[in-house]
Amino acid sequence: MVYPYELKCSLIIFQGRPKGVTPKFSLAPLVPRLSELLGIQVVKADDCIGPEVEKLVASLPDGGVLLLENVRFYKEEEKNEPEFAKKLASLADLYVNDAFGTAHRAHASTEGVTKFLKPSVSGFLLQKELDYLVGAVSTPKRPFAAIVGGSKVSSKIGVIESLLEKCDILLLGGGMIFTFYKAQGLPVGSSLVEEDKLGLATSLLEKAKAKGVSLLLPSDVIIADKFAPDANSKTVPASAIPDGWMGLDIGPESVKTFSEALGTTQTVIWNGPMGVFEFDKFAVGTEAIAKKLAELSGKGVTTIIGGGDSVAAVEKVGVADVMSHISTGGGASLELLEGKELPGVLALDEVERVAV
């Protein structure tokens, strides 16, 4: 097998959302660490296109690596302008996309360049992401459970609807649960509720029942008298949230019920925290789920952490290394789990595509 950096390799990387050339978003600080990781001296270009960059590419020895400057210094990058993409493409003979986290964006460096470079292929990381987030979810070892958390139902509608078509067990947590509670006529106090999504919550509950999916909502919650790390808190049944109090985490009985359900599974995917895990007092539920998945992973269960805050949670608990797969994508993971096609993947010539 020949790796790109055994030939000549130009690396395209972006950082931040600069408005034009912004020194603090320069990629120069990456050079020492990148050189250390690759075991060679990486050359840094002061631009990502143009005559000077072309000269550096031409002088690059076999096995040399050239780091191009931040492509987002050009507004043409995010606009996916063909002429800019063509200039990027002129620096290479083939294209390897290993940036799963941006595969859901049709930018010049992720989609545009593929029109001018053949072959355009996936890297190992991108392929691994597809194998897990598409392959393992489409043909999972069963029972297959999905854990979906987060603050709003609206941000996870597509994910929930897609997973209801595939999973055997669906566990819901995070702020979204209070919209489901209110849809069932339960008191929610001052908890976050999306009033315009009450009908949707009801329909999702009905859909789960019709499909025979075991949908579990927390039976108890930890509530607070204000949204703050030092808030007064107590545990109450999900049906007994008093006025003036808000739910910020799932309760101990819910952790026990969720853990028992997860203990019956062979595949688990997790996207979204169970509570406001940024506040230690309300991180207990999220951390308990992370520890349970680590335990299951050690027993051979496939555990997939689907990007975003869930990744931060398992890293905080210190169990990231034992999970089967930790996704590097936030928005890309969500869109893939929703069954959407990613522009950065569709643009490639040789990547194993599995229909969701």
278 has binding-site annotation: yes
Known binder of ligand: residue 247? yes
**Sole residue written with tokens 């096609």:** 341
Determine whether the annotation assigns residue 307 to a binding site.
yes
Alpha-carbon distances, residue 308 vs 149, 232, 272, 285, 301 (angstroms): 11, 28, 7, 17, 21
CA–CA dist 33, 22 (Å, integer): 21
Contact 108, 83 (CB under 8 A): no
Placement of tokens 């076999």 in the chain: 62
* DSSP SS3 for 117: coil
Burial of 55 (0-12, 13-18, 19+ CB in 10 A): exposed
CB 96 within 8 A of CB 109: no
Is the Cβ–Cβ distance between 273 and 150 less than 8 Å? yes
CA distance 70 to 93: 20
| Contact indicator for 221, 246 with CB cutoff of 8 Å | no
Output the DSSP codes for 232-279.
Answer: -EEEEETT-PPTT-EEEEE-HHHHHHHHHHHTT-SEEEEES-SS-TTS
Cα gap 277→89, rounded to integer Å: 43
Distance CA 300, CA 312 (A): 23
Q: Which residues are annotated as a binding site for ATP?
A: 156, 247, 278, 307-310
Q: Which residues are annotated as a binding site?
A: 156, 247, 278, 307-310
